Amino acid sequence: MVRKALSESYQRFLDSTAIKFGVLIFVLLAVGLWVASRDLRPNLAHLDVVLLSGSKQGQYHVFAGQLAERAAQERGHIRNRVTLGSVQNLAILAKERERCRVKFGLAQDGLDWKQSPGLQLLGRLDKAESVFFLGRDADKIENFGDLEGKRIGVGPEGSGTERIAYQVLGSRGLASLKHKLSNHSWSKQLEMLASGQLDLGVFVIDEDADIVDRAILKLGLQIANFRHLDVVARRLSFARVGRIGAGQYDPVQLLPPRDKRVLRIETLLLGNGCASRSEVAALLATVADIKPGFIPHNRTTPNRTGLALAPAARRFFDNQGRDLMDQYAPWLLDIMPPSNWVHIALGISILFNVMAFWHRFRLWRIDANRVRIERDIQLLFGDEALRGDLHALPVAQDAQVRELSAVLVSRLARLLRRARRQAQSILVPMGSEMAYRYQESLIAGWIEELERVAPPAPTPPAAPDETQG
């Protein structure tokens, strides 16, 4: 008994309006404090990826480091991984398609994409790299014929520079010059050029990179200038001819002493299809923060790389940056692309419209059936019935009237059950139940009036079963 009394007392305590109101206020305060303590501004906290760059002396490594610093400011994480260069980056990206531990890498254009299937283009940096031929007496080299018998360093083995060098020097007509090609690390190649052990060294690098400044200003190396460079550029679909202006590295001593023509090779940001949409958008946004011309360059210049642009990257460039969903709910877009969400929203809207139409149709049929029964009541009891004067009529004594009235009551009862059942249907929009309640009140009123004016005949008691007893 004591336990039952305590249980009832506790239940009354829980049912108290004041307690419920207090709990509601507490929950609202807790939610408010949680929201106030959170930083709801867009950030890159969901970005935690590895980016394959290149050697520590190369510009790819410097650029990847800049991306990592910028992402860290927005609570993102980009791990800059040192590699031998573009060719190794492609091999790693293709290999990691199964485990997806590495998703992004930098590479120069012009590589053999068929050897690394599944790669996607995420973007092209707006500033292309230059192909330098550096040497102690490179100012004297103006024609490709001057390369005959030269000792030429082509960078580390497996690097993108090596591949570009072999594509240029191995093209039609140049392969017969009998030049001697050799692989070296960047620092070793500079030392050998400065000491005269190499006649020329090939470097595919940003024209403003520190290694170029060191080579020209400290080691005294010169830039070869090929007058007919456009002929070679025509054979390489990924290359174009650019210019290094006279005095670009030292306007006082005028280094270089005159304009130099060089090949330009675009730098590509690649993915292997492992990254989610939000990761791609976050990485591209980081690149755009560092290089303001990144988005216009990819929007206005044609893609001649031979690689398909990733869908997430295409949407990023079409929107000229991350859209609101990318910024505030990136996890939502990782579940499903935005176009699919639009289709679902459209489908739900159509479904709700169909449900609302069916609800209104069924409500109309209930009302039409009620009106039809009211007409039959009018035929049975006269016009007073529809003027609301049915309650003023005397109780009917005619058996036929009572029988017909019972039929009307039965029809109204079925209609009432139907209205109550449909009022609980999932097709009824929230708040629209009152329309059914109104119909129910009208139907119940008619049932009450008919049962008063023409009460049903009492059911005779069942005859005793003579087989019993």
pLDDT score for 330? 67
Same domain flag for 412 and 449: yes
Whether 54 is in a domain gets the answer yes
Residue where a domain stops, chosen among 282, 312, 335 = 335
At 253, is the secondary structure helix, strand, or coil? coil
Whether 300 is in a domain gets the answer yes
For the whole model, what pTM was predicted?
0.67
pLDDT score for 195? 93
Instruction: Name residues of the chain where pLDDT drops below 50.
Output: 463-469
Whether 33 is in a domain gets the answer no
Which tokens belong to 113?
């994409």
Same domain flag for 154 and 233: yes
Same domain flag for 258 and 141: yes
Same domain flag for 355 and 302: no
Same domain flag for 71 and 161: no
Same domain flag for 135 and 256: yes
Whether 186 is in a domain gets the answer yes
Same domain flag for 189 and 236: yes
> Do 256 and 246 contact (CB within 8 A), yes or no?
yes
Let me know the angle formed at the C-alpha of 165 by 194 and 273, rounded to the nearest 5 degrees.
120
Same domain flag for 279 and 260: no
Same domain flag for 144 and 112: no
Whether 224 is in a domain gets the answer yes
Whether 462 is in a domain gets the answer no
CB-based burial of residue 393 (10 Å sphere; 0-12 exposed, 13-18 middle, 19+ buried)?
middle
Same domain flag for 257 and 282: no
Task: Indicate the helix (H) or strand (E) that contains 242.
Answer: strand 239-244
Which backbone phi and psi does 226 adopt, to 5 degrees?
-95, 115
Same domain flag for 426 and 301: no
> Do 291 and 126 contact (CB within 8 A), yes or no?
yes
pLDDT tens digits for 342-396?
777 788 888 888 888 888 888 899 999 988 988 888 887 777 666 555 666 666 6
Residue where a domain stops, chosen among 221, 245, 265 = 265
Q: Looking only at Cα atoms, what is the longest distance across the chain?
A: 136
Whether 35 is in a domain gets the answer no
pLDDT score for 217? 92
Q: What is the CATH number of the domain that holds 137?
A: 3.40.190.10
Per-residue DSSP letters for 128-144? -EEEEEEETTGGG--SG
Length reported for the chain: 469
Supply the range of the domain harboring residue 110: 48-126+269-335
Give the number of domains in the chain. 3
pLDDT score for 465? 47
Residue where a domain stops, chosen among 335, 354, 370 = 335
Whether 361 is in a domain gets the answer yes
Same domain flag for 202 and 249: yes
pLDDT tens digits for 43-83?
788 889 999 998 887 788 899 999 999 999 988 899 999 98
pLDDT score for 467? 39
Q: How far apart are CA 58 and CA 209, in angstroms?
A: 8
Q: HEC string of 347-399?
A: HHHHHHHHHHHHHHHHHHHHHHHHHHHHHHHHHHHCHHHCCCCHHHCCCCCCH
Q: How far apart are CA 302 and CA 142, in angstroms?
A: 31
